[in-house]
Amino acid sequence: EAGVTQFPSHSVIEKGQTVTLRCDPISGHDNLYWYRRVMGKEIKFLLHFVKESKQDESGMPNNRFLAERTGGTYSTLKVQPAELEDSGVYFCASSQELGLMVGTGELFFGEGSRLTVL
Amino acid sequence: KNEVEQSPQNLTAQEGEFITINCSYSVGISALHWLQQHPGGGIVSLFMLSSGKKKHGRLIATINIQEKHSSLHITASHPRDSAVYICAVGTGNQFYFGTGTSLTVIP
């Protein structure tokens, strides 16, 4: 069975440009999470989908970030326009939780998408 | 102060040593996860626990709910155990992550 896949693995863009990251969760997993790690910091939660619905997007840093999960399958995270402080590794994870209780299902992570904003 | 604190931040051990990594948290949890990240690699889930102890091979994870503390133990450490170990706490609403413990096991 395929794991969580993310694309691209590395993206280098200039400040002001747009980047779209994609995550394909494990088939059948309703829960999809986006996280990011900026240099030297801990991994931070960005948002959580249950199927196609945003369950919690309290971690999204600002309105330059837009996440979608149309049809409840893959998800995209768009950064527009990108700023220097957006550089980091963006991880996606999926799980099948017990109801809506975040944290009760084993997390499966993708390899991450490294974003470098110059 | 982070919701999840790990110690130590960095750890170097000789092959064969017994290793302990600690995690303390300040939030109410639904489950605590121990994750492993190899250099340049993705993140792998090692354990998910909400009480007691779990064992998988040379890895043992324990949690004390009253003290809000968990430990990850590695017995008979090996160079291939070198990685970053991350404690993550699910609260029912979202996850909080520790900053990770970078472990290097020297042959």
Task: Answer for the pair B103, B11: CB distance below 8 angstroms, yes or no.
Answer: yes
DSSP state of A84: G
Contact check, Cβ <8 Å, A103/B96:
no
Task: Report cis status (omega within 30 of 0) of the bond before A8.
Answer: yes
Q: How far apart are the first and last CA of chain B?
A: 36
For residue A56, pLDDT over 90 is answered with no
Contact yes or no for B4 and A33 at CB 8 A: no
Is residue B53 within 8 Å of residue B60, measured between CB atoms?
yes
Q: Identify the residue with better confidence: A66 or A56.
A: A66
Separation between Cα atoms, residue A114 and residue B20, nearest integer Å: 30
Task: Give the pLDDT confidence score for residue B6 in this predicted structure.
Answer: 95
* pLDDT for residue B8 is more than 60: yes
Nearest to A114 by CA among A80, A81, A86: A86
Name the residue among B33, B43, B48 with its Cβ closest to that of A91.
B43
The answer to whether the Cβ–Cβ distance between B94 and A44 falls below 8 Å is: no
Chain pair A-B, CB pairs under 8 angstroms: 71
Residue linked to tokens 């009760």: A104
Q: Which residues in chain A (7-46) have CB-CB distances under 8 A to chain B? A: 33, 35, 41-45
Residues above pLDDT 70, as percent of chain A:
93
Give me the pLDDT at residue A98, please. Answer: 62
Would you say residue B33 has pLDDT above 80? Answer: yes
Q: What is the pLDDT of residue A93?
A: 92
Contact, B83 vs B37, CB < 8 A?
yes
**Burial of B39 by CB count in 10 Å (0-12 exposed, 13-18 middle, 19+ buried)?**
exposed
In angstroms, the separation between the Cα of residue A89 and the nearest Cα of chain B is 10
Which residue from A54, A65, A85, A53 is spatially nearest to A21, judged by alpha carbons? Answer: A65
Measured CA distances, B68 to A34, B31, B74, B96 (Å): 26, 11, 20, 14
- Model confidence pLDDT, tens digit, residues B60-75: 999 999 999 999 999 9
Question: Residue A88: what pLDDT?
Answer: 94
Asked if the Cβ–Cβ distance from A101 to B2 is below 8 Å, we say: no
Q: Quick one: closest CA in A to B50, which residue?
A: A104
- pLDDT score recorded for residue A103: 65
- Among A100-104, A113-117, B8-12, name the one with the lowest average pLDDT: A100-104
Please report residues of A whose CB lies closer than 8 A to that of B86.
Answer: 43
Nearest CA in chain A to B47: A106
More confident residue, A2 or B32: B32
